[in-house]
Amino acid sequence: MGVVVAGNQDIASRHVADIIFNQLKSKQNSVFLLPTGSTPLKLYSVLIDMVQAEKISFAKAATFNLDEYIGIGKGHGQSYHRFMWHNFFGKVNINRKNVSIPESKPKDAEKFCKAYEKKIRKTGLDIAVLGIGENGHIGFNEPGTKFSSETHVAELSKSTINANSRLFKSKKDVPRQAITAGLKTIMQAKRIIVLAFGKKKAKAVKLAIEGRVSEKVPASVLQKHKDVVFVLDEEAASLLKKTRLQAPSIAGITIYSDFNLPKGKNIAFFSPHPDDAAISAGAIISKLAKKNKVYEIVMTTGHRAIDSNRTLPQKIKERERETRGEARVLGTSPIFLRCRFYDRENEILEADIRKTRALMRSIKSDIVFVPQKGDKHPTHIASRKMALASVPHKVELWSYETPWALFGHKKFNAAFEFGEKEMKRKLNAVKKHKSQTERTNFDRAAKTIAEFRQVTIAEQIFSQLGKKPLETKPYLELFNITKW
Ligand code: F6R
């Protein structure tokens, strides 16, 4: 089971839209099983935007709806027919003939259910998108529904009547019955995506993913399916204990927030000069340092950037003192390599490699940060080469951008989103390098780049965006993550 946790509903919905985008790209006549409710509203609006911007087309696609209330009629304000036409079908280029929604007033409900099941079986389902009820229901398969159930008439449970009464004049107006695709019907889908947002869903999500497979929790049946992904926000994921939380990705770019970052790893951050780590990645470092061991490996003394009459040892001491201050803010352990290439015109020296290799052997890192390939600063170029010559293989390599060369188009595949609090800490860390910020406002540079990245990220995922930009936190740090 995959569990993707996104920073907000927009990012989560775009992650799902991205899966649908790829599905339609590989098979135009894909068949979808779709939900109603408040959860998929953002997804539908993102898909509408994409269709209107001609990024995807539902012209050849077919859909089935999971369920419909019995008795209220298609025209009722709360009927799922109305919901779907109002919130989705009416605004995309789907062919009316390819839309199937259970009848609200079938003449013979049993007969209708059999025919609906047969129709689904005939086309099959490529992707089922589901919401989840607070009691763990999917569709209207309430607790106690048999895992072997097909499309059927279901009695709504008290919990569902309560939850849905917010949409009706009063509780007594909520229909007591619905037609729903059964659990076996849903399990036929090749892929299943479950969306859940908010604290109210946390318990159901926890039981569905980490609980025992039991008919008491209908969604727990999904543990038996081989291609299921839960796409959650932080609150809906808040009770998960054992599960690895993945970050969402849109158009090939993974969007990290503080709760879906790697955990329990040894991380080596190679900083060419003492202040590069804070300027380039201070926000993500401070978050990573909370749940990982982060070594900040300062490769050069950076003494040339101190304009004073002081002696060389004094200059080195000053920069290392500033770095220790920064490391206290970010929560890292600094290591000073004092590589000799810095004073030897960036010549890659065996002695430096040996020293770095020995260090890398002792810290056994799983993740290594280096300046990105396109960096133009001579010391950064040499530092990247040096680091890569010393890093053992089979690590995850996170290349980062520095003010000396921003990533070009499509040259990065990950972003870390963060807010004002993290920015404050990052700037505080940068400002510890007073000898540098007195000369150049690197703090302003760091803030400007992170803000610029947030504003322009939309251009990088343009191929899958409609007219509305991606809603992330106000700042981004960018990375290119590869296997090394
Ligand atoms: C809707 C459906 C239901 C909902 C669930 C969550 O077609 O089948 O299972 O997905 O009740 O509803 P919301 O999204 O309103 O919290």
Q: How many residues does the chain have?
A: 484
| Ligand 1 atom having least distance to the Cα of 37 | 15
Mean pLDDT to the nearest integer, 218-222: 98
Cα(195) to ligand 1 centroid in Å equals 10
Mean pLDDT to the nearest integer, 209-233: 98
Most ligand 1 atoms within 8 A of CB, residue of 66, 104, 160 to mutate: 66
Mean pLDDT to the nearest integer, 57-70: 98
Cβ neighbours for 286, distance < 8 A, ≥ 6 positions apart: 329, 330, 331, 422, 425, 426, 429
Tell me if 259 is assigned to some domain. no
Cβ(67) – ligand 1 distance below 6 Å: yes
- Regarding whether 418 and 284 lie in a shared domain, the answer is yes
Cβ(137) – ligand 1 distance below 6 Å: yes
- Regarding whether 271 and 158 lie in a shared domain, the answer is no
Determine the angle formed by the axes of helices 80-87 and 41-52, rounding to 10 degrees.
Answer: 40
Cα(253) to ligand 1 centroid in Å equals 29
- Give me the CATH number covering residue 98: 3.40.50.1360
Full residue range of the structural domain in which residue 143 is found: 2-250
Asked which of 223, 250, 277 is the last residue of a domain, the reply is 250
Asked whether 451 and 460 are in contact (CB, 8 A), the reply is no
Q: Is 101's pLDDT higher than 90? A: yes
Tell me if 260 is assigned to some domain. no
Tell me if 258 is assigned to some domain. no
Total count of domains within the chain: 2
Cβ neighbours for 455, distance < 8 A, ≥ 6 positions apart: none
Tell me if 256 is assigned to some domain. no
Phi first, then psi: what are they for 78, rounded to 5°?
A: -105, 10
pLDDT digits (tens, 9 = 90+) for 383-410: 999 999 999 879 999 999 999 999 998 8
Residue with tokens 């107006």: 173
Q: How many angstroms separate the CA atoms of 246 and 231, rounded?
A: 9
SS3 assignment, position 127? strand
Q: Is 458's pLDDT higher than 90? A: no
- Is 142 catalytic? The answer is yes
- Regarding whether 277 and 225 lie in a shared domain, the answer is no
Q: Is 206's pLDDT higher than 80? A: yes
Tell me if 257 is assigned to some domain. no
Cα(133) to ligand 1 centroid in Å equals 6
Cα dihedral sign for 132, 133, 134, 137?
Answer: negative
- Regarding whether 295 and 240 lie in a shared domain, the answer is no
Mean pLDDT to the nearest integer, 69-86: 94
- Regarding whether 313 and 229 lie in a shared domain, the answer is no
Cα(433) to ligand 1 centroid in Å equals 52
Determine the angle formed by the axes of helices 350-363 and 378-390, rounding to 10 degrees.
Answer: 60
User: What is the residue type of 204?
Assistant: A
- Active-site position among 8, 65, 135, 413: 135
As a whole number of angstroms, the longest Cα–Cα distance in the chain is: 95
Cβ(66) – ligand 1 distance below 6 Å: yes
Most ligand 1 atoms within 8 A of CB, residue of 68, 138, 142 to mutate: 138
- Give me the CATH number covering residue 324: 3.40.50.10320
The percent of residues in the chain predicted with pLDDT above 70, rounded, is 100
pLDDT the model gives residue 459: 84
Residue with tokens 């202040």: 275
Asked which of 193, 220, 250 is the last residue of a domain, the reply is 250
- Regarding whether 274 and 203 lie in a shared domain, the answer is no
Q: Which is nearest to 35 in space by CA: 198, 233, 174, 192?
A: 192
| Ligand 1 atom having least distance to the Cα of 67 | 7
Tell me if 324 is assigned to some domain. yes
pLDDT the model gives residue 467: 81
- Regarding whether 294 and 225 lie in a shared domain, the answer is no
- Regarding whether 423 and 341 lie in a shared domain, the answer is yes
Asked which of 250, 276, 306 is the last residue of a domain, the reply is 250
- Regarding whether 387 and 294 lie in a shared domain, the answer is yes
* Edge-to-edge strands, sheet with 2-6: 2-6, 228-233, 191-196, 127-130, 31-34, 62-65, 99-100
Cα(67) to ligand 1 centroid in Å equals 9
| Ligand 1 atom having least distance to the Cα of 65 | 7
Burial pattern 298-315, b for ≥16 Cβ within 10 A else e, equals bbbbbbebbeeeeeeeeb
- Regarding whether 229 and 280 lie in a shared domain, the answer is no
Cα(132) to ligand 1 centroid in Å equals 6
- Regarding whether 110 and 64 lie in a shared domain, the answer is yes
- Regarding whether 429 and 364 lie in a shared domain, the answer is yes
- Active-site position among 10, 142, 296, 322: 142
Q: How far is CA 406 from CA 62, 107, 427, in A?
A: 43, 65, 19
pLDDT the model gives residue 465: 78
Cβ(35) – ligand 1 distance below 6 Å: yes
- Active-site position among 137, 273, 303, 433: 137
- Is 420 catalytic? The answer is no
Cβ(274) – ligand 1 distance below 6 Å: no
Residue with tokens 């799922």: 80
Question: Residue 476: which pLDDT band, with cuts at 50, 70 and 90?
Answer: very high
| Ligand 1 atom having least distance to the Cα of 36 | 7
Which range is least confidently modeled, 176-190, 224-238, 298-312, 463-477?
463-477
